[in-house]
A and B are shown apart, each in its own frame.
Chain A
Amino acid sequence: MRAIRRKEFREYRRNGNLVFATAILPLIFLIQPVIQVFTLPTSASMTLRHEHSLVYMLAIPVLVPAVLASYAVVGERLQGTLEPVLTTPVRPEELLLGKAMAAFVPSVVVAYAVFALFVAIVEFFARPAVASALIQGPDLLAQLLFTPLLASWSIWVGIAISARSSDPRTAGQISVLMSVPTVAVTTLIALNVIPATLGIAVGFGAALLVLVLVGWRVVSVIFDPERLITNTN
């Protein structure tokens, strides 16, 4: 798994398209709220206290890994490297876990970093009342706990799509599209349409945990070396 992870990191760094696609999404999710926060008057803090705007940023650990993971299998097929890799003693499960880890680490790091940057900007530059209304303990905890779960789920969806695709761009687009329902849920929580209660959080977390485990099993089945190498169905 370490070999796969190391190789993937090297490839990510040198794949300009992938770096761009990975960087642009967090920037969108950072710049727009920052501008909004600076324009908010102090009076807005009352409304903000009843919302969970920070949860909106949970879209980052959903979207970033979707882009990375969608390249995982189809990228290897495109380069013709899948066959040489599978002729080594590595097990398909190890290959998948290596690829998942390689997408997980940068996704979570980027998500936490962007979130930390946003919180720092709000804390230092927003109006104090707005800052205190925005930055709430439970939201910080939710960000901390749900980021790895959402990233894991998104990675398995991305790898599953990648294993069934023959074009990296299509795989990327479908993966992002498949992330929309999850992003919609986090956005609805942020806007208080879905109440952000402890029960909802626990239920959402448990559901995600189950989805991650099911996702891993499904991807293990979908990833059929014979079909991928011989291009047969």
Chain B
Amino acid sequence: MQVSGYRDGPAIRVAGLGKRFGDRVAFEDVSFEVGYGEVFGFLGPNGAGKTTTVRTLGTLVVPSSGSATVAGLPLTPDNGVEIRRRIAIMPESPGLYLRLSVAENLECFADLYEVPDGPGRIDRALQAVDLTRRAQDVCGALSKGLRQRVALARALLSDPEVLFLDEPTAGLDPVATLDVYELIDGLRRRGVTIFLTTHRLEEAERLCDRVAILNTTLRAVGPPAQLRDRLFAKTLTVRTVVPLADPDALFTGLPTVEGWRRDGSAGYVLIVSDPAHAAPSVTRALVAAGADVLSIGESRHSLEDVYLQLIDQRSESGTP
């Protein structure tokens, strides 16, 4: 079923989606939207339900509850074929025919996708992952990293609107990983929506416009910076050569400084509402007080901090 003008809405819309296998809950009550051309990171610990969510959105698994729209089409059994025509999924395991060559593997999938100009598409996909020279190699003889690249080439064959990548850099060396990052950036520029499942938080922070953190239920959705701001107070870290005589008198009352605490003998963490405004006034106050300042800097929380905080919250709440 072709829906005209479907690109007006989000590429993926998920509302209260859930999947149970008997008594076991894979994921439940998951809701989010992913816009066209967005790189959306999907994070979570092992067993959080990430892969099952991807399989559900990819029409391989039937949801137990909720609804979804994928590539402009409602996620229903009738739309399965058309949805799969518009998307591509690179699963966690490359899943290649090991007795066939790289080119033969891609030929098979080009035929299954019924892509026009199969040989041309295969050449472009191989170029994109820098595997042109290995086209005739038997997949069984390739390293894990090279197999991963073949699987990525396979996912690119159909020129998908929405591309699900499950751990695309697992097993890749640093150079190949950077190549994949560049490839994802290139796909983003072409307007391809990328749903990236990863354990590498630095990868998500680098590539993703927004991330979702899942641990059976959705813990948070948003841009990494926004999640940081939501979870952690903005802080300035001040270090002096010797401890300040009366830090409370010095820091209390300064503009945008909301509180402070010690961090070691001559270190101070200031909770601020606006680091850009607070830093100059703190510097001036320290100089005026005759303090020998070693450093003043904004404390940066990584996505890993956000992730761990959210997963910890989950554990503390006692939810499975």
Contact = CB atoms under 8 A, between A and B. Distances in A.
Contacts of B60: 83, 86-87, 225-226, 229
Interface in B62-111: 62, 81-82, 84-85, 87-89, 91, 93-100, 104, 108-109, 111
Interface stretch (A3-11, A23-31, A45-53, A128-136): A3-11
B262 to A, nearest CB: 52
Interface in B110-151: 111-114, 151
A83 B58 CA distance: 10
B55 interface: yes
A126 to B, nearest CB: 41
A80 B113 contact: no
Contact of B111 (A3, A82, A230): A3
B294 interface: no
Interface string A83-116: 1111111110000000000000000000000000
Indicate the size class of the contact surface on chain A.
Answer: 20 to 34
B22 to A, nearest CB: 8
A83 B51 CA distance: 12
A217 interface: no
Contacts of B100: 7, 10-11, 14
Given A226-B60, A229-B55, A89 B85 contact: yes
Contacts of A90: 112
B24 to A, nearest CB: 9
B151 to A, nearest CB: 7
B154 interface: yes
A7 B97 contact: yes
A79 B95 contact: yes
Interface of B: 21-22, 52, 55, 58, 60-62, 81-82, 84-85, 87-89, 91, 93-100, 104, 108-109, 111-114, 151, 154, 158
